[in-house]
Structure 1
């Protein structure tokens, strides 16, 4: 039941055991409000007395027979804790009921006014006033239609990509050897020696990944040779320094001696049935032609996933950037700090709040689309998805008949795992997929062919 009055206050009579709990909402703005609750003896006394009688029946106190302890004795011993427990229980339920009954779109959880609560005198006070700060999201609309135009990129799989992939597979599944002297395609494993003897690090240097002007220095070296390096200038991509040598950006600016402990060389695998089986599984591919076709299909599928992922990010940015949603930012900061168990500091908020804000807006937009488009995921759908995943894990449809009679039990066991979190993760994933699919159906998506290099440049620009 909802009744609206002129000063933006709402009142709800919360009925329990024939008592009325007085709750009002002082709405400071469209997104911020203060829930005020007045609790009187009429509200809590019947429950408190019932609990006292229950304690008296069960209490085992020296000097009294069980069940014969006077209520006054129980009152002195347990009265205060029973009162606090009952009032807190009543507050929790009444706030939740109030929010639901008034259809308040609350973010986070109500924050109690600890300063006000700390001065309550539970020994002598009879009436109690509580305040809870809440943050709300105002109504907003999501309009999806052909006027929203985005591009989907079809990444071309050219001969160079296939050749590079084939070379990579031959290298990955090739035979390892440890020659005496290094050559251009070898990897040098070793220790990084700095001025600080306690600062010991290790890593490796793939010679063919070095800047061309550096490569010759590393050819013709042997185990235990020491070569001076300036990590920051070794590679054209500075990220590789961290990947290969385990150095931070600042550490990479220093000079080191690199002592070689191992020279590793990979002899490329031959294109034969052994390689086919290692890459795609036993018997999946029989000929070199089939092998190349399978590589092309796999690369194409991977590119499709990358392209879809990029499109979905573009959709998210498009909607978040253009749909006006006003959030209670001050409340959210307070709530994150209050519930962060000391891990959410002002510095952390300063760094991460915008990202949190964006994520929250996207969740709200998805929820609104699901509501408008009547998108639902049933528990039975989640179970079927879990069964498909399990079958895939066991080897696909080939083993379906063998485990069919156990499949329901295996799926139920998985979905109930992690205190039901496995179910919720799969449910949320399926729901998000349905929402995204609906968005794609309603907006205009133009497909554009693009090379891999062009796509990489596009994604790098997007991330920056």
Structure 2
């Protein structure tokens, strides 16, 4: 057997594997003898058919299988010995394979195309500068959050006369009778120019409107219809009020504090406000942390200047995902390239600094994720005693892919923690509006 590497460029090459009869025939003969012992061929007792007949029946398929096994193991072993990092999977040159005469040919040559990168070069020092943002939670954001919480825990009432922010329950009808829908209409969805019509109404009243002008936002979502249907709802409509629903804000009292934050955690309105501010600040700054780390990744990816084999990778992605169009691959490739490059950079930093993701780290990170999910669903601490079950089920799911994803996430966390120690980080406080501007750019 002979294996040769031919580099076509800085990041693409071909691997040629030449096999002669001595490389594969002993294994083929051995396999055919095994087949002969088990073969059930008409006219012969089981296992008594001549090897020559078995070879005539199964010889080609056995030859193909054994050569494929040799190629797979030889190619993998050869690649493992190289210093470069192969990307994607080797692509066989199909034209050569189609020309093989399996019946008569003795010597075979197979060719594979590969994409790779040489050693990734990245140096961490204080010349790399990044900004870590901290969000200032302003008074209005806090007050809006408190109002939302009080609304969630508030009491539903049915007043006689409607006011702003009420819900009107009734029938939404086209004047010509072509459309009717019964729904609960939030007055917050009514345009400012039309809101006066909906305030001060009572049960049994009818309100004339043009939905294309009176309703803010998505009419299709409000009415649970398609965009095409919603586009046709113009002109004269009427809303017939059957009931008025209002949520009275929950009062600041011990019962309310306990429902929101549990017993003994908050006792006064001021403490409640402080707690809400802390939670908002924590949640917002999780977002700024993610943003900062993405900026750091971008800086390191740019600094590493990894030359990816773009043409090869696009071809490999196309063959590996035959249901994805080439147009979609071209569109998504920049994001894929960024993620791939960061993976190479992260692995290089981890290797140079002996950073490893341990099993205990994976379990701990998964626990954090599960706790956040439980908290967001309102379950929280009462499910803590089942944490091990949730964690194990997740990590064992998706055929082990979940575990590998968490392992990668842990390594990334450790790599980024080291990077932040090595580079220059400038701290800056910004408003939510300013942060939204950063996200939009």
Q: TM-score, normalised on structure 1?
A: 0.80
What is the CA distance between 1:87 and its match in structure 2?
0.8
Aligned to 1:319: 300
3-state DSSP of counterpart to 1:24 = strand
Aligned to 1:256: 234
Q: 1:100 to 1:193 in 2, by over 3 A?
A: farther
Ranked by relative contact order (alpha carbons within 8 Å, sequence separation 6 or more), the top structure is 2
Aligned to 2:327: 347
What is the CA distance between 1:99 and its match in structure 2?
0.6
CA distance in 2 between counterparts of 1:439 and 1:456 reads 26
CA distance in 2 between counterparts of 1:333 and 1:246 reads 40
Query: Which among 137, 140, 163 is matched to residue 157 of structure 1?
Result: 137
Q: 1:188 to 1:454 in 2, by over 3 A?
A: farther
3-state DSSP of counterpart to 2:68 = helix
After superposition, what is the alpha-carbon deviation per residue over 1:70-89, rounded to whole angstroms, capped at 9, x for unaligned?
21121112111111111111
Aligned to 1:365: 345
What is the CA distance between 1:297 and its match in structure 2?
1.5
RMSD: 3.6
What is the CA distance between 1:337 and its match in structure 2?
0.7
CA distance in 1 between counterparts of 2:172 and 2:11 reads 58
After superposition, what is the alpha-carbon deviation per residue over 1:385-440, rounded to whole angstroms, capped at 9, x for unaligned?
5567678869999998x78xx95x87556533332223212212211111111111
Q: TM-score, normalised on structure 2?
A: 0.84
Query: Which among 195, 205, 212 is matched to residue 230 of structure 1?
Result: 212
1:447 aligns with 2:427: yes
CA distance in 1 between counterparts of 2:381 and 2:414 reads 25
Q: 1:320 to 1:104 in 2, by over 3 A?
A: closer
Aligned to 1:426: 406
Which structure 1 segments of 5+ residues have no match?
Answer: 1-20
3-state DSSP of counterpart to 2:90 = strand
3-state DSSP of counterpart to 1:87 = helix
Q: 1:217 to 1:24 in 2, by over 3 A?
A: farther
CA distance in 2 between counterparts of 1:357 and 1:410 reads 34
Question: Does the Cα contact within 8 Å between 2:175 and 2:238 map onto a contact in 1?
Answer: no
What is the CA distance between 1:192 and its match in structure 2?
8.8
Aligned to 2:417: 437
CA distance in 1 between counterparts of 2:311 and 2:173 reads 48
The alignment of Structure 1 onto Structure 2 pairs a total of residues equal to 431
Which structure 2 segments of 5+ residues have no match?
Answer: none
Q: 1:242 to 1:107 in 2, by over 3 A?
A: farther
Q: 1:40 to 1:264 in 2, by over 3 A?
A: farther
Question: Does the Cα contact within 8 Å between 1:203 and 1:246 map onto a contact in 2?
Answer: no
Question: Does the Cα contact within 8 Å between 1:204 and 1:244 map onto a contact in 2?
Answer: no
Q: 1:28 to 1:205 in 2, by over 3 A?
A: farther
Q: 1:413 to 1:159 in 2, by over 3 A?
A: closer
Matches within 5 A, 1:110-189: 110-177=90-157, 182-187=162-167
Question: Does the Cα contact within 8 Å between 2:11 and 2:115 map onto a contact in 1?
Answer: yes
CA distance in 2 between counterparts of 1:121 and 1:387 reads 57
Aligned to 2:57: 77
After superposition, what is the alpha-carbon deviation per residue over 1:225-278, rounded to whole angstroms, capped at 9, x for unaligned?
5521226x855xx6x678656789998876536664875432212222332233
CA distance in 1 between counterparts of 2:284 and 2:430 reads 11
